[in-house]
Structure 1
Amino acid sequence: MSQDEPTNFLYPFIDAQQENPESLLADLAASAQAKAAESLALRRSTLDANAALLEEAAAQLAARFAAGGRLFTFGNGGSCTDSATLAALFSRPPTGKPLPAWSLSADQAIVTALGNDVGFDLVFARQLIARAKAGDIAIAMSTSGNSSNLLAALAEARRRGLYTIGFAGYDGGAFADNADVDVCFVVRSQSVHRIQESQALLSYQLWLATQDRVAAQGVGVV
């Protein structure tokens, strides 16, 4: 960014206070504190609102893992990295039992081949056709809940007998009240940043609750 480029789109008060660094630093600190407080409040309210759904989903995941089920996660953009993090948390956990989980965006060759050959809308659905079976689990992560390739994958997962989970923001978008989605975790915010922060905590809580149930079962995962 050049020195002459305005920064109002980030912090409206920066350009107006270039000659007053002490006041500018105070405003920046206040802005950061306000965002942190907003994020904390939203994460708490989101966990409270989704507590029953988390327990319901964790019970399903634990039962399916015990029966030989596998987890497939997918998303676009920032949600792609979040879904990959979730798959890694299940498959290579810091503690507890490793569980079979894969991110469908992890293999660049597969994603780009499918995008080129059959279209981006099918990059996840086609992978589920090749790899998934009844008893598996599909988790789609999105801020809008409206991505066409995620909806196509969830529909394919439903046809194949997978347990389906959606993460979405705003009002849930097309994930909400969708026959192809067994459980939809909604972060009710208009900010993409706050949505993804709360989704990260929700996904961690889902992993933790699933681990607790797997341990309580006292049986090995197939």
Structure 2
Amino acid sequence: MTKILLVEDDLRIVRSLKRELEREHYLVDVASDGEEGWDYLQQAAYDIVLLDIMIPRLDGTALCRRLRQYANGVPVLMLTARDTTSDKVHGLDAGADDYLVKPFEIEELHARLRALLRRQDPHRQPLLQYGSISLNPALQVVSVGDQKVDLTPKEYQLLEQFLRNPNQSFSRDQLIERLWGWDETPGSDVIKSHIKRLRRKLKEAGGSDPIETVFGFGYRLKTHV
């Protein structure tokens, strides 16, 4: 799953962007200032950083420059309301890969994210496959043979968890902890419902059921296709 760090202090923008990005199957962490963003980047690997310039404690340009000084090559897409040529040059010279001026259409953001992902090493995110089922982490696409399967973000994340961890069994609590954020409190049967729909969609597309129920515990990827 493509992992994005969003560094933005405007809560309204954070809520809107996080919702839209998760709808497209991105995993999103949020930092509200530059120093917090730096802490996140020290602790985890990200595929892209969405970085507002006007953030407290350490501004976006300074954070980007620090990243490059430490040879961190993660793609950086700067978000800002400042639209002068000098501002853009300043951000790009600090090491940003792209620059998007607020307000912007969400479709343009998604297009720029896809472009940044395409520039990365194509071998960095290999396809995950199970029989005729294929998951492309870079493009966030699931297919059965040549047929694309439309999954919700949580269905996609569930499938990716199983494909990335073929020898591991997951309890329902473990799956909830991995897939739901701190601000969400899903009901006890939510995992069961999502897996039921995931199985149905894969079967309708002509694929096999890749998920095995571990009675009394949870779920795992079937060992035989």
- With structure 1 as the length reference, what TM-score do the two structures score? 0.41
Larger fraction in strand: 2
The higher-RCO structure (CA 8 Å, 6+ apart) is 1
